[in-house]
Copies of this chain bind each other. A is one copy, B any other.
Amino acid sequence: MLELRLVQGSLLKKVMEALKDLVTEANFDCSATGFSLQAMDSSHVALVALLLRSEGFEHYRCDRNLSMGMNLNNMSKMLKCAGNDDIITIKADDGSDTVTFMFESPTQDKIADFEMKLMDIDSEHLGIPEAEYHAIVRMPSSEFARICKDLSSIGDTVVISVTKEGVKFSTRGDIGTANIVCRQNSTVDKPEEATVIEMNEPVSLTFALRYMNSFTKATPLSNTVTISLSSELPVVVEYKIAEMGYVRFYLAPKIEEDEEETNP
């Protein structure tokens, strides 16, 4: 039997909004460690990993490891019915082909339960090794979202270049070019407004803006975003979920700038 009670139910609503445009169907894995998901986006280009650690739940009962295949669009429809202050409980009986989401209003005057059918989804769990990155940029998540959105009005790809001084986001399109530089600035009043760069060596990599913009749907989950870059590895765009875990997005860089121009 599975019973996971999350007092801050709005967190789960935000997680769904972060994932549902990128991933249509996926297996949610429950174990003693926590509630997690790993899935490729529907075009098999980007990888998403979610972890909500068991310690973050008010009540966490998971008798045995369980993998539940869900349609994220349907799950999102149901979670949208939860109030922002509601407590959300996820329940499943052993061997059942349904999962139940229970929403309790803070006053306990309104109790809703939504039962959703589960699906059989083939998936292989990729091992993602810990890696060394050439550069790690931590910056305000809203700033990163704004930059990705702004550059999308000019071009299709973004070149992210990191030096000690700062991180530069560049694009090029029919109507012109754009460069946005964010300087390292750790001396701001609020730590979440800082842009902090840890760099072993300079790096400059090109990514599809379409995916970056999808990743920024996770912005409401965290004030800051961490972007880990290495020339041989997919970029990791990570949104930490306070005291519970993270949503991480992985995306391979475009190898050649020329290639993108012949295939716009």
Instruction: State the A residues within 8 Å of B (CB).
Output: 71, 74, 77-78, 80-81, 98, 107-117, 143, 150-151, 153-154, 175-183, 185, 188, 195
Contact = CB atoms under 8 A, between A and B. Distances in A.
A112 B180 contact: yes
A180 to B, nearest CB: 4
Given A114-B154, A154-B114, A183-B109, A81 B176 contact: no
A115 B171 CA distance: 11
Contacts of A74: 175-176
Contacts of A177: 114-115
A260 B178 CA distance: 47
Nearest to A151: B81
Instruction: Classify the secondary structure of A's interface with B.
Output: strand
B115 A153 contact: no
Contact of A183 (B110, B117, B143, B151): B110
A176 B110 contact: no
Contacts of A109: 182-183, 185, 188, 195
28 contacts: A71-B175, A77-B154, A77-B175, A78-B153, A81-B150, A81-B154, A81-B180, A107-B188, A108-B183, A109-B185, A109-B188, A109-B195, A110-B181, A110-B182, A110-B183, A111-B180, A112-B178, A112-B179, A112-B180, A114-B154, A114-B176, A114-B177, A114-B178, A114-B179, A115-B176, A115-B177, A115-B178, A116-B175
Given A117-B175, A176-B98, A176-B117, A112 B181 contact: yes
Given A74-B176, A175-B74, A183-B110, A150 B80 contact: yes
A153 B79 CA distance: 11
A165 B116 CA distance: 26
A78 B180 contact: no
Nearest to A178: B114
By Cβ-Cβ distance, the 5 closest A-B pairs, closest first, are A81-B150, A116-B176, A74-B175, A112-B180, A77-B153
A78 to B, nearest CB: 7
B178 A110 contact: no
A191 to B, nearest CB: 14
A109 B181 CA distance: 8
